[in-house]
Every structure is written in C-alpha cells, then in structure tokens.
Amino acid sequence: MSETPCLEIKLPHINFNFQNPILNASGTFYPASFDQLCPLAKCMGGIVTKTVTPTAKTGNSQPRTVELPGIGMLNSIGLQNPGLAYTLEKDLESLSTYHLPIILSIAATSLQEFSQMSEQIVSVQSQYPNLLALEINLSCPNVDKGGLDFGSSCDGITEVVKTVRDIWPGVLWAKLTPNAGNIIPLAGAAVEAGASGITAINTLLGVAIDIRRRRPILPRVSGGYSGPGVKPVALHAVWQLYKHFPEIPIIGIGGIQSLDDTLEFMMAGASLIQVGTACFARPTLFEDIHNGLTQFARQEGLAHLQELVGCAHSQ
C-alpha cells in the first residue's frame, strides 16, 4: 500500500499535471474569502474564473436566487462580471498568487466577439504563465444572447469552438448544457471543432413560484437549477461522455458536495471535478474532499488516484 498516494491528474496532450482533480465551478467561488477558511493552494487542482464577457455586465434584476431547501437553488445572475479587460488586468494577477492553473471562463454574443476576446487573451498569455485553459461557457441559461443559443446546436458549438481554437493555442474546454436533449452530438461537435475537454454540466432550467404573489419568483421566470438534485443528471452526462469519448478529458460538475460524490464522478469518467453550489454553505469543502481523497487512496491501496477515472465502466 502506498504511504503517500499521488493525487495528480494528467490530461492527454498537455505537458502539465494537475496536483489533484478538485476545481471550483465558474461563478460560485470567492478565492480571497475561501482562502481564509481553507488553504486553496494546497487543496485545489486549479481555479476557474467567473465567466467573463467582452465588456462589463450588470446582470439581471433582483431577485436572482431562490433557495430550494434540501435540493439546491435556482439562480438568474445573468453573467454579471467586470468585463474581459478588467479580468485580464486585475483578476488574473490576484489569482496568480495561488500558483495554481487558472481556467478562464468566457462567453460572448457573436463570433466576432469570441474572436476579439481570444486575441486579447492571447496577447497577455505570456504575462500569466498560470493561465492554462479557456472554458467556453456555451450553456448559460440566464442571458438572452450568447448562452444557450450557441450551445443548443451542433452548428453553434462548432462555430464558436472553431473561432476560439483558431486563435487560442492552449487547452480549450467546452462547457455544455444539459438542457438541449442528448449531450453526445453537442460534445462531438465541440471535439471535432478542436475542444480538448468537455465540462459537463451547466445548470438545468427550473422555475419557482411565489404562492402569495401567485407569480414566478425570478423576474425572468426560469433560472438555472444547481445543487444536489442535479447530481444524477450530471453523472449520466459524464457516464455517456466517457463511453463515447474515452480519450477526451471530462470535467464533471453538478451537485458535488462530498468525497463520495467526487469519487462517483471520477469512476463515471471525470478526470477533474468542479464544486459549485455546495461551497456556498461549506467553503471548506475543497479541503475536506482533498483530505478524503488522500485517505481513500491510502485505504484502497491506490498509488495513483488517476486509476479511478472511468473505472466503473470496466465492471
């Protein structure tokens, strides 16, 4: 049995090892606050930014979130963010202090915008050696343009991924929606167009009604459903993706809130996982999962945690 199991995850075609498979989900993470509660540099494998758009967005009107006790939450943030220029100038610098790989999440409303964003990012790449990957958010349900309209069709995904791929030479993940039916053709389009990984899943569409007012709670009626209730849906997506594209790294996400959830995602085929909604209530979850993985690997006599990826398929 190995005394110090190796939690590292190596993805194909990248000359880089993640120190462990634990990432945060885009839009649910506040590194400065969380770092005061758990040592992010030690217990995370990388940091994913909030999705940035070409220019600042103020987001949707309030209320933007609905708590769904026991099963998760709805959100309709609407991609509020300070815009790409600010993120490149300020956020990347502060995130670089963790010495972890940074995954920059991007969205735009046209191919021209995606192209310009990619050029801007490439132009600062040498200043930020930790900037490892782009994650294209092809799946935000809370904006009128640039989310599901690109991400719901193979053609839309192909165009966007190709546009970014033509300019960005590095690791490129496509974050897909569970709201467009079968995820496999969408993933196929992304891979064919040059994506080097698939992030699955973004939020499911959901509605909550204020029974006193007899109206939907969210001004846009529908929001993105996340948290423990989406886990089986996300696991299904990861399982199917691994089955169809065993060579393509899968970044699993959706309802992960424990060590056991993390192990389920890895065994279903995820090389890396992202923790979202659960860390609002438990910002120390990253450390708990990290310690749990070490202990699990020891107990199971695993020299390399990576051996678990997709193992449930071979039984």
Binding residues for ligand FMN, per CB under 6 A? 25-28, 50-51, 73, 75, 77, 79, 105, 137, 140, 175, 202-203, 224, 226-227, 230, 253-256, 275-278
Q: Directed axis angle between helix 154-165 and helix 183-192, to 10°? A: 30
In single-letter form, the type of residue at position 51 comes to T
- Measured in whole angstroms, how far is the alpha carbon of residue 39 from the centre of its chain? 20
Q: Output the residue with the shortest Cβ distance to ligand FMN.
A: 27
Q: Which of 58, 62, 65, 57 is nearest to 107 (CA)?
A: 57
Radius of gyration, CA atoms only, the chain: 18
Q: For the CB of residue 305, give the shortest distance to ligand FMN in the complex, in Å.
A: 20
Give the integer Cα–Cα distance in Å for 277 and 256: 8
Smallest distance from ligand FMN to CB 64, Å: 8
C-beta of 146 vs 310, nearer to ligand FMN: 146
* Least distance between ligand FMN and beta carbon 82 (Å): 12
Pick 114 or 302: Cβ nearer ligand FMN:
114
- CB atoms inside a 10 Å sphere around CB 239: 21
Between 268 and 302, CB nearer to ligand FMN? 268
CA distance 192 to 170: 16
Q: Which is nearer to ligand FMN, 28 or 118 (CB)?
A: 28
SS3 breakdown of the chain: % helix, strand, coil, rounded to 5? Answer: 40, 20, 40
Q: Which is nearer to ligand FMN, 28 or 240 (CB)?
A: 28
> Please, are residues 166 and 159 in contact by the beta-carbon 8 Å criterion?
no
Q: Please confirm, yes or no, whether 140 is among the known catalytic residues.
A: yes
CA distance 158 to 174: 10
CA-wise closest residue to 9 among 132, 110, 188, 104:
132
HSE of 150 in the Cβ direction (CA atoms, 13 Å)?
Answer: 27
In whole angstroms, give the CA distance from residue 96 to residue 262. 26
Whole-number Å distance between alpha carbons of 309 and 141: 29
Q: How far apart are the first and last CA of the chain?
A: 23
Sheet with 222-226, edge to edge strand ranges: 65-68, 72-75, 222-226, 204-207
Which residue's CB is nearer to ligand FMN, number 5 or number 226? 226
Least Å from the CB of residue 2 to ligand FMN: 30
Instruction: Spot the catalytic one: 38, 43, 140, 279.
Output: 140
To the nearest whole angstrom, how small is the minimum distance from the Cβ of residue 256 to ligand FMN?
A: 5
What's the min distance (Å) between Cβ of 76 and ligand FMN?
9
Catalytic center residues: 140
